[in-house]
Amino acid sequence: MTCADVERDLDAYVDRELDPAPREAMRNHLLDCPACRRRVDDRFVLGRLVRSLPYHTAPDRLRAGASVPATRRPLRRMVTWAAAAAIAVSVSGGVALLRLPWSGATLATDTAAADIVNSHVRSLMVDHLFDVQSTDQHTVKPWFAGKLDFSPPVQDLASSGYPLAGGRIDYLSERPVAVLVYRRRQHTISVFVWPAAERDLAPQTWSTRGFHVKHWIRGGMSFWAVSDLNDPELSGLVRSLQASQ
Rounded to 5 degrees, what angle do the CA atoms 204, 229, 194 make? 50
Same domain, 83 and 194: no
Q: Can you tell me the distance from the alpha carbon of 171 to that of 9, in angstroms, rounded to the nearest whole number?
A: 20
Instruction: Tell which wins on pLDDT, 198 or 93.
Output: 198
The confidence band for 80, taking pLDDT boundaries of 50, 70 and 90, is: very low
Work out the average pLDDT over 202-206: 91
Q: Can you tell me the distance from the alpha carbon of 172 to that of 114, in angstroms, rounded to the nearest whole number?
A: 11
The confidence band for 144, taking pLDDT boundaries of 50, 70 and 90, is: very high
Same domain, 74 and 143: no
Same domain, 122 and 74: no
Residue 65 lies inside a defined structural domain of this protein: no
Largest CA distance in the chain: 69
pTM equals 0.60
Residue 61 lies inside a defined structural domain of this protein: no
Same domain, 108 and 90: no
Same domain, 74 and 114: no
Residue 63 lies inside a defined structural domain of this protein: no
Whether pLDDT at 170 is above 70: yes
Same domain, 147 and 87: no
The confidence band for 44, taking pLDDT boundaries of 50, 70 and 90, is: low
The residues, any chain, with a CB within 8 Å of residue 63's CB and separated by 6 or more, are none
Provide the residue range defining the domain that includes 210.
Answer: 98-244
**pLDDT (0 to 100) of residue 96:** 36
Same domain, 80 and 139: no
Whether pLDDT at 12 is above 80: yes
Work out the average pLDDT over 148-157: 94
Residue 214 lies inside a defined structural domain of this protein: yes
**pLDDT (0 to 100) of residue 37:** 74
Residue 60 lies inside a defined structural domain of this protein: no
The confidence band for 71, taking pLDDT boundaries of 50, 70 and 90, is: very low
- Residue 177: how many CB atoms within 10 A of its CB? 22
The residues, any chain, with a CB within 8 Å of residue 2's CB and separated by 6 or more, are 29
- For the domain that residue 108 is a member of, what is the CATH number? 3.30.200.100
Residue 177 lies inside a defined structural domain of this protein: yes
156-169 confidence digits (pLDDT tens): 999 999 999 999 99
Same domain, 106 and 17: no
Same domain, 237 and 131: yes
Work out the average pLDDT over 71-80: 44
Whether pLDDT at 21 is above 70: yes
103-114 confidence digits (pLDDT tens): 333 344 677 888
The total of structural domains in the chain comes to 2
Same domain, 102 and 217: yes
**pLDDT (0 to 100) of residue 58:** 65
112-130 confidence digits (pLDDT tens): 888 898 889 888 876 778 8
Same domain, 227 and 106: yes
